[in-house]
Structure 1
């Protein structure tokens, strides 16, 4: 059992507290001395404790005349293994700067404060670095390596090519309350679409057309009222002689779900967005809400959203949070990126399908 010494230490202090015993704790210097002399088991600790007991009872008076400098030299010599850890600083600087910061904060807090407070500060700082790392994960746009089912970051791999009409976005962190908004912002930045601005433009154009159409309806009704006195006649004719009912004029001119092209707006250059969740370990309630808003916003812009490589725990969380609805169904979930790309190659333009190379898995 790896923590049996700590459990024994805690039980000893717990039991001794009922009998007014002195609390016991571990000694860093003695532990380093035991390690440097090759001690591996509790027997070595028993031998060192027996020697210390003899020194306290009998041999302690022999050391009273020694200067404190000599005694401190003995302690420093035994702690040389700990001092060698300063040589790890250049290595940590080259390998992982987060670990270097944790090392420095632990060292300075332990020196400036006491041992307990220093360890508490180091633990809190370590948790803070973990939170900070999840707020700045690596995200990338993937492309297909020709004639394979391999997808790599297009910014790092020259052979990977983006598939026309399809954006593949990879996110390498959990999606939870601390980074959910950052996930949505990183997605828009990578795919090059400002969803909020484009939706606002769409709303303004629809509102403008509705106002103009209402004016046209009011004018038509006024013409009908002035020219047709008999009841039951509520129709007017346009310049081509076509009979139009002013009441249904809105449905004829402006459909209930107008597209960006029908509104004269330039939409995104892709029709499908694939989210690679292979590195997403979990999604909390806030993350599910953000993800659902993202799917609905892109759907409003005529872009289909697909999820691939989802862990079973992530799928269970999505189901429990009622993520799947009328606009978002389980048919948008695929086991791999290539499955989603192959599906998209069938349902869209053949010119796009020619750009998607499907790996032949049959043996020749």
Structure 2
């Protein structure tokens, strides 16, 4: 429909006869416009608004409950015959991808596969209750698993180091794992608290501060970290655990120093799995995705085949292949997270919360735009927070949505969040009964799957030439966030990416330059003034467009830019004084310099001034914010031009800017009658004024 509308408009505008418009209205200044179109609505006090919001009724209570539990609305409006097939099919299909990913990412998080299964089960179940998007597949996420690994490894190293200066024996592997689980649970709860807090405070807007270029560079670097973390498993080599700046570089140095320890059986298994996975995903699933009812669950198939072959060929005993090992049956008793050392990783938890929010809400909005189903940003925040908060009591690690799983739900036609029932039932069966069957699964199979799942993120490097052409600032942000995240560490990459984004935003404001505008000779259109051709000459009037907000970082520079492009009153007066001195020396001689005419009349020190510029119009249509420094800059511009008998006028001042000027007592010294609604009104008045002035001069 939209394409057809655009086509009709294009055809209409491309007609043989050029379309013209005629507008008729009076000239408005700020005062006259406010009087004509004043807001007559009744304004309520803060007390009245609070009182109104505190009123309660059954209808309002039901509406509030429905907003916090969207599943009620989905159940009430569920159309069984139309929705059931799509929900069940998509729910089971995404489960086949969930299973291997959750086991692999549990290991990536430096925990056990069962913790990945727990994280998926509880996240999916809670999102079913609180989520608003049918296409979000909440659960284990590679980036979150990697960040969890960083935190739990660091805390585990601190725990081991605490035994170094004592006579006590070093902790066992199980004790170290218990510490890691405690830390991951605490992180999960903290992430949930942060996200739910932002949702309740309606802070969904915070995602706007994470630029697309930053998210692209960071997620690509995270994919590189994730893929790199699986390389030692492909080679069957156990490398040291590094933390802090440069850990990825140190890991590769350690890996290559032990390259002679490579287990070729692991390499063969990993390479075969990578080839099979890439072939099916690229050559079949992606190529024939429009013709297939559902993609081939190749990850699930590879896990099953790999487990069967490994079990009957006894890979662990014969080839010394590392396997998943024992997977406990059933659920572990819920426990309250140990938050004694939470201060040491609360900042990491906040970073996880922001990234979980950014990745999940961006996918929710993408699917919402694609399918035309609305989502509630703040309720989504509450849902993400609830998923993590509840999971934190069941031995899980922080979770988020994942692009491949979300795309499957979108392409298979999931209709409501009730598709999660099929996924939850599948994982409940895995945890209670089937999980133990994957004991013999080689770790190199899971490593290969994780590496292949990073394919789309790693291919974002191909976007760099396009980003360079579109916007150089975005390119710099992308490269800086990516390079720092890879060469130093992910947490430093976040700081560097956000920092360079803010810095370049300020630089962009600093480098923005205003320009002169004029009216076209052929029609009533305001156009940028370049060489003066095809621009209507307006006697004694110049129009300058301010291109940015006026605040402490830009006000002084924009003031100087106005003086440079129009005329610097101080330099003008100095030039006048110099010519006055010359007039005292030269008797009865007229000196003409540019726009200045000085005549000796009577006494040699008598000087009369004639300036062609009479009025300066400042177009403020692009100014959406002004502070005290901006007000002071405008006042100085008015004052300086007044010394050379040039009047200053303003046009198109936004309401909020006008309110700030009022509060700053700007209009106590500057008349509102010199502020016009638009450029055409100002030009109309000033042109008439110039004509009247010329006529009176001739008389």
- TM-score normalized with structure 2 length: 0.38
Describe the SS at the equivalent of 2:544.
strand
Separation of aligned partners in 1, 2:579 and 2:487: 63
Asked if structure 1 preserves the Cα contact closer than 8 Å seen for 2:539 and 2:690, the reply is: no
1:195 matched residue in structure 2: 569
Describe the SS at the equivalent of 2:502.
helix
Q: Are the structure 2 counterparts of residues 267 and 34 from structure 1 closer, same or farther at C-alpha, using a change threshold of 3 Å?
A: farther
2:442 to 55, 58, 66: 66
1:320 matched residue in structure 2: 663
- Quote how far apart the aligned CAs of 1:261 are: 5.3
Separation of aligned partners in 1, 2:535 and 2:440: 75
> 1:195-224: CA deviations, max 9, x gaps?
232345567899x8xxx9xxxxxxxxxxxx
Higher mean Cα deviation, 263-272 or 143-152? 263-272
1:292 matched residue in structure 2: 635
> 1:156-197: CA deviations, max 9, x gaps?
884223423111101121111110011111111211x22232
Describe the SS at the equivalent of 1:324.
helix
2:319 matched residue in structure 1: none
- Quote how far apart the aligned CAs of 1:43 are: 5.5
Asked if structure 2 preserves the Cα contact closer than 8 Å seen for 1:202 and 1:260, the reply is: no
1:228 matched residue in structure 2: none
1:233 matched residue in structure 2: none
Q: Are the structure 2 counterparts of residues 150 and 33 from structure 1 closer, same or farther at C-alpha, using a change threshold of 3 Å?
A: closer
Q: Are the structure 2 counterparts of residues 205 and 80 from structure 1 closer, same or farther at C-alpha, using a change threshold of 3 Å?
A: same
- Quote how far apart the aligned CAs of 1:286 are: 0.8
Describe the SS at the equivalent of 2:637.
helix
2:674 matched residue in structure 1: 332
Q: Are the structure 2 counterparts of residues 91 and 52 from structure 1 closer, same or farther at C-alpha, using a change threshold of 3 Å?
A: farther
- Quote how far apart the aligned CAs of 1:308 are: 0.9
2:621 to 251, 270, 278: 278
Separation of aligned partners in 1, 2:648 and 2:667: 12
2:684 matched residue in structure 1: 342
> 1:250-301: CA deviations, max 9, x gaps?
xxxxxxxxx9958648765311101111111121111001101100110111
2:397 matched residue in structure 1: 24
Higher mean Cα deviation, 138-147 or 38-47? 38-47
1:141 matched residue in structure 2: 516
1:246 matched residue in structure 2: none
2:482 matched residue in structure 1: 107
CA RMSD for the aligned pairs? 3.6
Separation of aligned partners in 2, 1:199 and 1:60: 90
Which has the larger helix fraction? 2
1:84 matched residue in structure 2: 459
Q: Are the structure 2 counterparts of residues 317 and 182 from structure 1 closer, same or farther at C-alpha, using a change threshold of 3 Å?
A: same
2:502 matched residue in structure 1: 127
1:35 matched residue in structure 2: 406
1:301 to 635, 644, 647: 644
Q: Are the structure 2 counterparts of residues 5 and 312 from structure 1 closer, same or farther at C-alpha, using a change threshold of 3 Å?
A: closer
Separation of aligned partners in 2, 1:299 and 1:155: 27
Asked if structure 2 preserves the Cα contact closer than 8 Å seen for 1:169 and 1:276, the reply is: yes
- Quote how far apart the aligned CAs of 1:92 are: 1.3
> 1:25-80: CA deviations, max 9, x gaps?
2257xx13303433566556676677667767855774656363x43331122222
Asked if structure 1 preserves the Cα contact closer than 8 Å seen for 2:624 and 2:654, the reply is: yes
Describe the SS at the equivalent of 1:348.
helix
For CA contacts below 8 A with separation 6 or more, give which structure has more relative contact order.
Answer: 2
Q: Are the structure 2 counterparts of residues 77 and 35 from structure 1 closer, same or farther at C-alpha, using a change threshold of 3 Å?
A: farther
Asked if structure 2 preserves the Cα contact closer than 8 Å seen for 1:137 and 1:171, the reply is: no
Describe the SS at the equivalent of 2:517.
strand
Separation of aligned partners in 1, 2:640 and 2:537: 23
